[in-house]
Each structure stands twice: as C-alpha cells, then as structure tokens.
C-alpha cells in the first residue's frame, strides 16, 4: 500500500498499518535537515506521507522585489522578507473600506501553474496536497487585521464584497488544480488565537461560513478532499466545519485546544492533522518527545482519522535531535 493510500484510509476513518505523518519546515530547519541527510529532498528523507505543493500566490507569482528587504506580491501587499519565515506585512493596500480602483489578480493569468504538473508527476506515491490560497487571511493582508475586524461592524458590505472577490480568485485556482492531478486542496485561513476566535462566532457564520460552503462544495465536486489550516482555538466553530463537509482540520494546536477531547467528539466525522506541540513538546528532551509522540499516536490513531504532525511549521529553534526523535517514533508506531 502506498503512502498516498494510507493517508486516504486515515482520512476515511480506517486504521492503518503505519501512522501517516508529515513535517513541514521553515528555511533554517530545511537547511539543517538538508545538511544532516545530505540531500535537498528533505521531504523524502524524513519519510513524509504528504507532499505539500506550496503554490503561494502571495510571493511566487507576478510579485516584485522592491528592495533587499521588501517584496510586493500580486495583490499589492508589501512584505518585509525574512530569512527564517515568510516575513510579515509592511503595507496593506486597502487603506480605506473601498474597492473602487482596486484590481484583483486573475487566477487564470498565463503561467500561474507552470511546472506544477511536473511536480505532481514527481511525487505520485505521496498524498498531494495543493494550497489554493488564503481567504480571511488574504482579506486582512489587504486591509489590516484591526481595520478588517472593525469593518465587520461598521462596513459589512465592504467585507462581503472583499471576500466575494477573494473567493472568486480561489475558486479559479481550485478548478485548475483539480485538472493537474492533486488529491486534496488546502485553504490557509487562521480564525483563532490561543484562547478563542479572532471574531465572534456570529460574525464568522455571517461572513466566512457561507463562502466556505461554496468552496468546500466546489472542491468535493472535483472529487478532492477538503483541508483547512486554521491556527488557534477554533473549537466553537468545529460543528459548523463538520456540517460544511470539511474532511481534515490542521494543525490542531494542543496549546489552544484539547486534542483528545476533539478526537472523542469528532473522531468519526472530522480527520485531525497535527497535534504535537511546537511550543512545548518539541522543546523538551528527545526521550520526552518520543514518549509524547508515542502516546499521541496511541490515542489519536485509534479508529483512523488522524495524521501525525507538529502543531505548526517547524521553527528555527527546534533542536535537530528532537526532530529525529519525532521521526523515529513515527516510523516504529
């Protein structure tokens, strides 16, 4: 059975002979592991079951470098480029709640997916997960998070129009990605901080939920699995996500939510992907990492519906020996 088939079985709530797992890395960690394994193909070296095909419209297509530190993406958002991660937004182009004069990028722009088919062919034995973009995150990259949250109250029609345009862009990406042979579509969209949602559940249901339904329905109509990346505590809206047809929730940060409780409540309805703390577990000793990974697998993999992974992309300050301990334990479980 291929790694792709094992991931699909897990998503479909079947126990598997080995636990599917996935590690993702910031550039410093990627460099460290590349040097350790003596290969640029770090995903294969660590034994990943999933291959992220990280087409990032924000920085990789039709963007331009403004200076040594600044990059402007195709949406007009200016980023402070950092070596250890993707950086942070320096300038939001929508300084007023007004879309007049602003032109959204074209998801069908020629060349957007150049080389993508070749990447799909290269990793056919793995579960291929394509990022279709970001939604609420893209809205606050354009407008600013504080300003956008105020707009929910003061300028609701502007928010509706903004989200509709972003959704149109993402749907165009989904249609094209489906034709390129991927297995699932990942939406990047943080809705929570460590303790709760960034907005009220009512606002989430008013502005976000109806558009997620359109997106998930479209993805599923293409025969693909739906994945949502949302950091933080999103427990208040998990029943909504289940009803919308979400297949897999990532990264279920244990600092923000009780992953065992989530498994108990939703383990036969929603697959969970993540769960190993980067804030705590992966900063302990290798022995402690092994023990926590082992116990997490024992609880979470029962009955399927679980993909082992850290609670967020591995950061530069995670020790190499702890990453190796994670991999060792995953491979013997």
The reported pLDDT for the residue numbered 87 is 85
- Asked if 324 contacts 288 with a C-beta cutoff of 8 angstroms, the reply is no
Tell me the pTM: 0.95
Rg of the chain (C-alpha set)? 19
CATH number of 3-58+104-332: 3.20.20.210
Query: Nearest CA to 52 among 251, 220, 324?
Result: 251
Residues of the chain scoring pLDDT < 50: 56-58
Residue 65 pairs in a beta bridge with 71
The reported pLDDT for the residue numbered 81 is 85
The reported pLDDT for the residue numbered 55 is 52
The reported pLDDT for the residue numbered 85 is 79
The reported pLDDT for the residue numbered 57 is 41
Q: Rounded to whole angstroms, how far apart are CA atoms 31 and 82? A: 15
């Amino acid at each position: 059975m291929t790694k792709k088939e094992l991931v699909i079985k897990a998503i479909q709530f079947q126990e598997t002979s080995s636990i599917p797992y996935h590690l993702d890395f910031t550039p410093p960690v990627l460099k460290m592991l590349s040097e350790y394994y003596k290969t640029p193909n770090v995903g294969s070296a660590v034994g990943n079951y999933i291959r992220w095909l990280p087409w990032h419209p924000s920085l990789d297509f039709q963007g331009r470098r403004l200076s040594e530190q600044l990059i402007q993406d195709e949406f007009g958002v200016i980023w402070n480029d950092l070596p250890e991660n993707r950086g942070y937004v320096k300038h939001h182009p929508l300084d007023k709640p007004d879309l007049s004069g602003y032109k959204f990028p074209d998801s069908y722009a020629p060349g957007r997916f150049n080389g993508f088919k070749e990447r799909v062919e290269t990793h056919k034995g793995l579960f291929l997960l394509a990022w279709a973009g970001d939604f609420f995150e893209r809205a606050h990259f354009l407008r600013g998070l504080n300003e956008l949250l105020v707009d929910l109250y003061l300028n609701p029609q502007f928010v509706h129009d903004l989200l509709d345009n972003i959704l149109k862009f993402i749907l165009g990406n989904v249609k094209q990605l489906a034709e390129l042979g991927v297995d699932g579509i990942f939406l990047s969209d943080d809705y929570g901080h460590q303790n709760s949602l960034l907005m009220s559940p009512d606002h989430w249901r008013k502005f976000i939920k109806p558009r997620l339904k359109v997106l998930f329905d479209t993805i599923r109509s293409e025969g693909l699995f739906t994945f949502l990346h949302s950091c933080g505590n999103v427990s208040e809206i998990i029943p909504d996500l289940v009803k919308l047809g979400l297949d897999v929730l990532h990264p279920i940060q244990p600092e923000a939510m009780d992953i065992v409780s989530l498994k108990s409540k939703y383990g036969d309805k929603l697959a969970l992907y993540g769960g190993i703390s980067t804030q705590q577990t992966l900063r302990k000793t290798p022995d402690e990492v092994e023990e926590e990974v082992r116990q997490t697998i024992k609880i979470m993999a029962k009955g399927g519906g679980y993909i082992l992974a850290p609670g967020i992309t591995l950061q530069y300050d995670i020790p190499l020996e702890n990453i190796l301990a994670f991999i060792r334990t995953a491979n013997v479980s």
